[in-house]
């Protein structure tokens, strides 16, 4: 089911309104893995002129969503703990990479890192997903 699921998720992400609004692009999806990218534009700035934490979190959440649903069944977030390490500068290309570190029948745990184009660590995150038994509705 791998490529069928990956293709279906890729098509859904391309049409997802929120991802479109932020310019988030899916670069890669594999079982338990995803890589997404976003250009940090000036409308994503906080009061200090750096990337708003909500914009970075949205990128993390997209990577988490893709990786946790990559097995073909619905997975929803239970918890996401994020740590911001460095401020991203305007014009930066930010990438979030999500890697599954553990998966059981009901729970998946993911390590997500956000880096800029110089490979500087911007944020790290641990996400825990609840894995439902139902298949993705768009398959």
**Mean pLDDT score, 70-86:** 97
pLDDT number for residue 11: 95
Is the Cβ–Cβ distance between 52 and 45 less than 8 Å? yes
Taking alpha carbons only, the member of 87, 90, 93, 78 closest to residue 38 is 93
**What domains can you pick out in the chain, each with its CATH number?**
2-135 (3.10.129.10)
Label residue 2 by pLDDT band (50, 70, 90).
confident
Q: pLDDT for 95-121, tens place per residue?
A: 999 999 999 999 999 999 999 999 999
Half-sphere exposure of 2 (CA within 13 A, CB side): 6
């Amino acid at each position: 089911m791998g490529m069928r699921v990956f293709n279906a998720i890729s098509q859904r992400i391309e049409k997802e309104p929120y991802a479109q609004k932020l310019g988030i692009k899916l670069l890669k999806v594999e079982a338990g893995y995803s890589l997404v990218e976003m250009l940090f534009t000036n409308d994503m700035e906080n009061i200090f002129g750096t990337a708003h934490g909500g914009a970075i979190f949205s990128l993390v959440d997209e990577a988490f969503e893709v990786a946790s649903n990559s097995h073909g069944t619905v997975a929803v977030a239970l918890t996401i703990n994020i740590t911001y390490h460095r401020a991203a500068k305007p014009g930066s290309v930010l990438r979030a990479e999500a890697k599954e570190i553990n998966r059981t029948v009901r729970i998946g745990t993911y390590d997500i890192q956000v880096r800029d184009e110089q490979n500087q660590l911007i944020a790290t995150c641990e996400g825990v997903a609840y894995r439902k038994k139902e298949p993705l509705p768009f398959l």
